[in-house]
Amino acid sequence: MAMSDEHKEALARGRREARALKEYLEAIGGRKPGRPVTVDSLNERIDDLKRRIAAEQNRLRVVDLHQQLIDAQVALTKTSSVVDLTALERAFVAHAASYSERKGISYAAWREAGVPASVLKDAGISR
């Protein structure tokens, strides 16, 4: 049985929406509650850790600070190589409401997945 053009378009729209939502969710997957980690904040943390290492007298504390420095540098590398979150967020906002309505996904489910309330508001998804 042949598919109608409307059916084909609906399937294509569903794939586009799902792809946009998945890419955004994967990009924010490492997010934690609290302030977002930015390149600037990581650079400030790295500079602060270097100063603290130079001033620290306790050798065991120096080892701990070096590990924190290494962790911050790894996070900076990951943050620097992340895809443009703004574009992914725009795509999420454009498609989330219709996808949510079609799939029965609630505001609470998106929040549990890590989507910020402000993004859901922009997408037109309310509690």
Domain that holds residue 61: 5-123
Domains of the chain: total: 1
pLDDT, tens digit, for every residue of 16-47? Answer: 999 999 988 888 875 556 677 788 889 999 99
pTM for this prediction = 0.59
Whole-angstrom distance, CA of residue 65 vs CA of residue 78: 20
Instruction: Give the chain as a DSSP string.
Output: -PPPHHHHHHHHHHHHHHHHHHHHHHHSTT--SSSPP-HHHHHHHHHHHHHHHHH---HHHHHHHHHHHHHHHHHHHHHHTS--HHHHHHHHHHHHHHHHHHHT--HHHHHHTT--HHHHHHHT---
Q: Which two tokens stand for residue 118?
A: 């402000």
What are the pLDDT digits (tens) for 39-95?
Answer: 888 999 999 999 999 999 999 999 999 999 999 999 888 776 656 788 899 999 999
